[in-house]
Amino acid sequence: MKTKQQIKGYKSEFIEFLVKEKALKFGEFQLKSGRISPYFFNASSFNSGETISKLGYYYAATLQEMIPQSTLVFGPAYKGIPLCIATVIALATHFDRDIGYFFNRKEAKTHGDQGILVGHAPVDSDQIVMVDDVITDGATKQEAISMIQAISKAHFTGVIIAVDRMETNAEGKDTVSEFQSKTRIPVKSIVTIGEICEYLLGREIDGKVYLTDTIYQKIDKYLQTYCIRH
């Protein structure tokens, strides 16, 4: 398992950020799919003002590089809500771009503002990018996209996730590729598991090697079983 793409500065910073904040752990973890994974990414570890601010910067940097034409950031409830807010704050602070954000409600509101969307309402000319932590099967994201497209003719320019696990779904198909095929919306990640392994293998960070050759071999074996994209 190797990636040929050069790992950019913000990507390497993000990888170190993941392990320092214990958002990325190595060991043995049972996933919702039932698979036993040798690593686990948990976006809930970013639960303070400082960490969510830093996380927003990495989403903003990815947006600026890969989907710069976007005019609106959408975060699907619930995990996407702090992500979209942190992203637009980072865009304004670090990239001098002041754009809107919005998110959806999961429950219907029966008083006051009864709309399903909260924040900057999309208009037909908007170019929307969705931000979320990962893609599991893509179903909830497809539902959110359909809901927004029923309200507005705004165009989705992309989806940004934190970590691309590069895995197949339950049907043995590439999860990200399937989502892109169904929605015609490109998916970008701050980093992939391939980039994480390439950067972390044997590297000492603050006096600790997080990814040893033994752990790497377990991840490589896991991806040989479940990964069809290199």
- Does any domain span residue 3? no
Q: List pLDDT tens digits, range 178-212.
A: 999 999 999 999 999 999 999 999 999 999 999 99
Of residues 109, 153, 173, 230, which has the active-site annotation? 109
- Does any domain span residue 4? no
- Does any domain span residue 131? yes
Query: CATH number of the domain that 98 lies in?
Result: 3.40.50.2020
- Does any domain span residue 1? no
Q: List pLDDT tens digits, range 125-180.
A: 999 999 999 988 788 899 999 999 999 999 999 999 999 999 988 888 898 999 99
* Model confidence at 112: pLDDT above 60: no
pTM exceeds 0.85:
yes
- pLDDT computed for residue 2 by the predictor: 43
Using CA atoms, how far apart are residues 195 and 34, in angstroms rounded to an integer? 24
Q: List pLDDT tens digits, range 35-93.
A: 999 999 999 999 999 999 999 999 999 999 999 999 999 999 999 999 999 999 999 99
Of residues 4, 22, 32, 111, which has the active-site annotation? 111
- Domain extent at residue 30: 9-226
- Does any domain span residue 2? no
Is-catalytic flag, 182?
no
- For residue 16, what pLDDT band results from cuts at 50, 70 and 90? very high
- Does any domain span residue 15? yes
Q: List pLDDT tens digits, range 145-156.
A: 999 999 999 999
Number of domains in the chain: 1
Is-catalytic flag, 8?
no
